[in-house]
Structure 1
Amino acid sequence: MKTTDSMIRTFFIAGIFVFCAPHANGQFLKKLGKRAERAAERTIERRVDKETTKKTDQALDSILEPGAKDKKKTPTTIGGNAPASNPENGPSGSKAGSKTLVVYSKFDFVPGNKPLFFDDFSNDFIGDFPAKWNTNGSGEIVTIGDSPEKWLELKPGYNILYVPDVPELPEEYTIEFDTEVIGIDQKTSSRTGLQIMLSDDPKFKTGDNYVTAWIPYGQYGAFDIRMRNYINRDRGDINSGLKADIRKAVLNRPHISIAVNKERFRLWVNEQKYVDIPRIMPTTNGVTTLKFNVNNFKDQKERIFISNLKVAEGGIDLRRKLISEGKISTNGILFDSGSDNLKPESMGIIRQISQVLLQEKGMVLKIIGHTDGDGPEDANLKLSKARAGAVKTALVNIYSIDENRLSTEGKGESEPVGDNSTTDGKAQNRRVEFIKQ
């Protein structure tokens, strides 16, 4: 091995001398012989246009020590997905630059403003079934790759249901969660998918009244999102396949958003709305329970995970409330953990605020940021101010609102509305207020 390293070093140095000392090229190459000459010439051809001193050192090291070419560990990815992040209280967590926020600027999902349930499994142990869920099957908390973020693996099976401990669902509410997958490929069955059920049965039966939305994970075709409803044990009017091509989305940690407003049901995958059915929910004996099921009937190599489940009452039009009451508070504006980087999914609410300001030309707003109680008090105060500023920046830069009509303030953890010792309470405390001045 030492002899080989020595020969390679000699050939590489020969190339450098040829590049740096033209008059000495001939004598040097004659001494090395024809074999060395060819090696040196190939080295020159590869390096002549881009070599610098630093890159020369890196190239030499990579030749002599191939195993040390890249000491930096690359985060593990899943099925071609981007590495999972560790969000603070919501969906997927890549840093949201202005270009990404503009993409989401027409996203019209508005989360509910009264949190009912939130679970990112931060209080559960790896390998356990989560404390705030129930099932008639099996499942466990896992981490994926190098990320510390926790996920619940949903095991496939006929009539196997996963039921989070969400309080009884009201007439109007929103549901949000992230999913992740392993083992999805071009042969993934058209039957592989995630079913979301809203049922009047609180446990593991379908119930007499229910609505289901089925999200496909198959890759060899653009499969439908399927919707159906059952009313008083009879199949309802709706059993529809809605055309969609979400093959790329399901490979890249999609964020699923659902809004139920009495009879109306809407569903978004990332920023794209795919379902908007005005009358699908039962009007009597309404649904009260959220359930999940995974279908996978072929070889079961695919694995589906869920995290960051958030259910909130409301999801109503905040514009009217802001105009009539002069004040709104929302948990739906989300940021990366410990950061003022806006998550793109927050743009639905910010868009509504911009519409009010564009209509009410004389309105002036104060934007107030609040945090939970984790971390030092002074750091939370600074963070809350920065987050309020980030919302203002989005309104100004994306929706062209005059910055003089907006002021900002941060109150940190000083005005909690929930218990900071619980996950749900922390989710309530992380909020943004808009107050008419």
Structure 2
Amino acid sequence: TIMKTKIIVTAVLMFLGATNSHAQFLKKLKNSIEQKVENVIVEKTSDKAANETSKTLDTIFEGNSEDSNRKVKNKTSKQNQNKEDENVESNVNAETEEESTVTGFGVYSNFTFIPGSKLLFYDDFASDALGDFPAHWETGGSGEVVTLSDSDSKWLSLVRRSGYMPTLENKLPENYTIEFDLVNNGYGNGKPFSKLYFAFLSKKSYNMGSGGTLADIEILFSNTGFNVRNVENFGGEVEVKIGSRIDRQMTDYLNNTVHISISVNKKRLRMWVNEEKMVDSPNLLQANIGDYFILQAMDVLPEKGHFVGISNFKIAESNEDLRSLLLKNGKFSTTGIYFDTGAFTVKKESYGILSEIAKMLKDNPDINLEIIGHTDNQGDDSSNQYLSRSRAQMVKQILWEEFEIEYDRLKFIGKGETEPVDDNATEKGRANNRRVEFVKI
């Protein structure tokens, strides 16, 4: 019962307050107990919301087999949708006592990529018909939207020697980031090799060969592995010619899916494959190289069994740093904390932005934050409300456990789909609305 729970918690907290030895350990234990109570003192929503959300909200970090078997079964009642767990008094459900645990980011702990804050382009091909070329892309060749047996996403298949450019109203800004998932299959012994170029152009072109002054990163798919092979620039307007042989070969990434992250800061270009930085060239993008971006396939041959595809493609402009935004506006928002679809599982490529937020908090100990989760309009109101709140709570949990930010400095609420900042009728609009907001308190 609530009364018994309160008595037990109060007794434990009094014991903690009265004990002088092992102070640091007890402080951590006290916070842990408070967090457990916060996680269990919540009300259940309707059976419909419970059934819809419990199927997907079952892990904290992807790839953790122990956590993947856990289901969160407690829900927030409608009248308490916008309240903190700390302020909610309700029945304790015995099924909620199995608490999920933040387990860390592993190799991503050195991942420093921070996505841009202003979304310029997003496409997951959700609105495109299978077999069609996607509506928000341009090409001088061919391609089509497909699905894969082992993925819930739709993919743009890159074929032959075609170039692929996202449709944008304007040239790219001086500072921006690009992210996407890249899958390759059908390579190995006895199979011909293919190449894929990430090309940065000074003028609009559907083929890097006619893009004027340009820079590119070459990816080779061969029987020896997934190889980040070269980075170079060339053309008449380049003042300092740069050509670097990288030859970073990874067998585990062949016939597999990786996440690509690219950061452009004026002339500087950095590129990561999953958590590992492959390129950091401070003067590569000279002479307006980087105004346009294309993906250039080279000898990707479906008739030979090749498949190369992209999904969840995002371009965002990089503006002011987080501290400046917070001090100027009292808040900032990011679409760069990524979750599994319909779940509060935090993807590991979110490490960079979470680390930056934690650093800002450590450098400014007088700043406390309220974390607000927002969703798009996919799904019903009650599920989105619960999902947004669970995601905000998980961000708080990570900042506390992974980055050791004081527990009391962070609050969280969820607002579901109630405060959209963009049109939910488009992929880009929905991506903008799926965000986490941080407000100074």
TM-score (structure 2 length as normaliser) = 0.72
Residue matched to 1:344: 348
Residues in 1 aligned to 2:398 and 2:428: alpha-carbon distance in whole angstroms: 27
1:137 aligns with 141
Shift of 1:202: 1.6
CA distance in 1, matches of 2:109, 2:228: 26
Contact kept? 1:209, 1:287, Cα under 8 Å? no
**What is the alpha-carbon distance in structure 2 between the residues aligned to residue 386 and residue 229 of structure 1?**
46
Which of residues 349, 359, 380 is equivalent to 1:376? 380
Which of 418, 423, 429 in structure 2 is aligned with 1:419? 423
- C-alpha spacing 1:310/1:222, structure 2 compared with 1 (3 Å): closer
Counterpart among 176, 181, 204 of residue 179 in structure 2: 176
1:293 corresponds to which residue?
296
**Cα deviation code 1:190-224 (max 9, x no counterpart):** x5232111112223243222111112222426744
Indicate yes or no: 2:166 matched with 1:164.
yes
Q: Which moved more, 1:250-259 or 1:100-109?
A: 100-109
Q: Cα distance, 1:176 vs. partner?
A: 0.5
d(CA) in 2 for partners of 1:322 and 1:106? 25
Are 1:110 and 1:316, in contact at CA under 8 Å, matched by a contact in 2?
A: no
Q: Please give the alpha-carbon distance, in whole angstroms, between the structure 2 residues aligned to 1:204 and 1:235.
A: 24
Partner Cα separation in structure 1 for residue 242 and residue 330 of structure 2? 40
Match of 1:65 in 2: none
Q: How does 1:30-41 map to 2 (within 5 A)?
A: none
Structure 2 residue corresponding to 1:354, chosen from 342, 354, 358: 358
CA distance in 1, matches of 2:240, 2:222: 27
Q: What one-letter code is carried by the residue in structure 2 that aligns with 1:255?
A: H
1:183-194 aligned within 5 A: 183-188=186-191, 192-194=194-196
> Which SS does the other structure have where 1:177 is aligned?
strand
Q: Which moved more, 1:195-204 or 1:143-152?
A: 143-152
- The answer as to whether partners of 2:165 and 2:293 remain within 8 angstroms in 1 is yes
Aligned partners of 1:166 and 1:289 also within 8 Å: no
- State which of 399, 410, 415 in structure 1 corresponds to 2:414: 410
2: CA distance between counterparts of 1:245 and 1:155? Answer: 22
TM-score between both structures, scaled by the size of structure 1: 0.73
Residue 107 of structure 1: how far off its partner (Å)? 1.3
Structure 1: 5+ residue stretches without partners:
1-86
Taking the aligned partners of 1:136 and 1:267, their CA distance within structure 2 comes to 26
Instruction: Show CA shifts across 1:84-116 (max 9, x none).
Output: xxx9xxxx9767964462432331111111111
Equivalent residue, structure 1, for 2:438: 434
Q: How far, CA to CA, are the matches of 2:319 and 2:297 in structure 1?
A: 27
Shift of 1:121: 0.8
Q: Specify the SS of the correspondent of 2:257.
A: coil
Give 1:140's aligned amino acid: E
Q: Which residue of 2 aligns with 1:113?
A: 117
Paired residues of 1:110 and 1:315 also in contact (CA < 8 A): no
Name the SS for the 2:312 alignment partner.
strand
Give 3-state SS (helix, strand or coil) of 1:310's partner: strand
Among 252, 256, 259, the residue aligned to 1:252 = 256
Q: Which runs of 5+ in 2 are unaligned?
A: 1-55, 68-101
Match of 1:267 in 2: 271
Q: Deviations over 1:107-135 (max 9, x none)?
A: 11111111111111111111111111121
User: What secondary structure is seen at the aligned counterpart in 2 of 1:193?
Assistant: strand
> What is residue 203 of structure 1 aligned with on the other side?
205
Secondary structure in 1 aligned to 2:402?
A: helix
The share of aligned pairs that are identical, in percent, is 39
CA-to-aligned-CA distance 1:402-424 (integer Å, 9 cap, x gap): 11111111111111110011111
Tell me how far apart the structure 1 counterparts of residues 259 and 403 of structure 2 sit (CA, whole Å): 24
Task: Give the direction of change, closer, same or farther, for the CA distance of 1:141–1:172 in structure 2 (3 Å limit).
Answer: same
Q: Confirm whether residue 152 of structure 1 aligns to residue 156 of structure 2.
A: yes
1:247-287 Cα offsets, whole Å, 9 max, x none, are 313433100000001111000000111111111112x4443
* 8 Å contact from structure 1 (residues 134, 165) kept in 2: yes
* Matched residue SS, 2:396: helix
Residues of 1 paired with 2:247 and 2:289: CA distance?
28
Equivalent pairs, count: 343
CA distance in 2, matches of 1:352, 1:271: 16
Distance 1:294 1:94, change over 3 A: farther
Match of 2:395 among 391, 397, 407: 391
**Matched position secondary structure for 2:314:** strand
Letter of the 2:179 partner, please give it. E
User: Secondary structure of 2:366's match?
Assistant: coil
Counterpart residue identity of residue 203, structure 2: D
Supply the AA of the counterpart residue of 2:424: N
Assess if the C-alpha contact under 8 Å between 2:139 and 2:164 holds in 1.
yes
Deviates more, 1:143-152 or 1:218-227: 218-227
CA contact (8 A) 1:385 1:408 kept: yes
Equivalent pair of 1:229/1:235 in contact (CA under 8 Å): no
CA distance in structure 1 between the partners assigned to 2:130 and 2:283 by the alignment = 41
Helix, strand or coil for the counterpart of 1:244? Answer: strand
**Contact 1:166/1:311 (CA < 8 Å) preserved in 2?**
no
Alpha-carbon distance, 1:288 to partner: 2.3
Distance apart, 1:234 and its partner CA: 5.6
Give 1:123's match in structure 2, choosing from 121, 127, 137. 127
What are the Cα deviations for residues 380-429 of structure 1, in whole angstroms up to 9, with x where unaligned?
Answer: 11111111001011111111111111111111111111001111111111
Gap change, CA 1:297 and 1:373, over 3 Å in 2: closer
RMSD: 2.5
Deviation by residue 1:346-396 (Cα, 9 ceiling, x = unmatched): 111100011112222222111111111111122211111111001011111
Cα distance change, pair 433–333 in 1 and its aligned pair in 2 (3 A): same
- Which of the two has higher C-alpha Rg? 1
435 and 332 in structure 1: CA distance in 2 versus 1, 3 angstrom threshold: same
The residue identity in structure 1 corresponding to 2:201 is S
Q: Would the aligned equivalents of 2:217 and 2:228 in 1 still touch at CA under 8 Å?
A: no
